[in-house]
Homo-oligomer: A and B are copies of this chain.
Amino acid sequence: MIELLQKIVESTPGAKAAILMGFDGISVAQFVAPQDDELDVESMATELSFRFMELRTAAASLEMGSLSDIAIQAEYGTVLVRVLSEEYFVAVLLERTGHFGKGRWVLRSTARALAAQL
């Protein structure tokens, strides 16, 4: 599983970390790029996971169906999320200049393999 997260980070220009987490905010596995090893990706993803839960509930109540992807871009970074199941999601953190489109594509193409390991 860590190998798949490492592959996500190494295949996405500007990616700093990838994490597989439950919507309860508990991390399953993570990979942080060596040059960003001071990054506390787990606390970050835990904080965001609660917001993602609320977004998921909102989308369902708006008859949008199940949420599959979330992306947020901010001044100092971008977070891309792919929902794997009712309980788990995978997220990749990019620096501001990271490659958004490539990140989405890598997440999607790795999601099935990650879900198979849960």
Q: Is the CB of A68 within 8 A of B74?
A: yes
Most buried by B among A47, A62, A77: A62
The 13 listed contacts between A and B (C-beta, < 8 Å) are A47-B58, A48-B62, A55-B55, A59-B72, A59-B74, A65-B77, A66-B74, A66-B75, A69-B71, A69-B72, A70-B71, A70-B73, A71-B71
Q: State the main secondary structure of chain A at its contact with B.
A: mixed
Residue A116 interfacial (CB < 8 Å): no
Interface residues on A, range: 20 to 34
Considering the complex, give the chain B residue whose CB is closest to the CB of A69. B73
Q: Give how many copies assemble into the complex.
A: 2
User: In the complex the two chains form, is A75's CB within 8 Å of B64's CB?
Assistant: yes
Q: Which residues of B contact A58 (CB under 8 A)?
A: 47-48, 50-51
Of B55, B77, B79, which contacts A72 at CB under 8 A? Answer: B55
* Contact among B61, B68, B74, B79 for A73, CB-based, below 8 A: B68
Q: Which of A22-79 contact B (CB under 8 A)?
A: 44, 47-48, 50-51, 54-55, 58-59, 61-77, 79
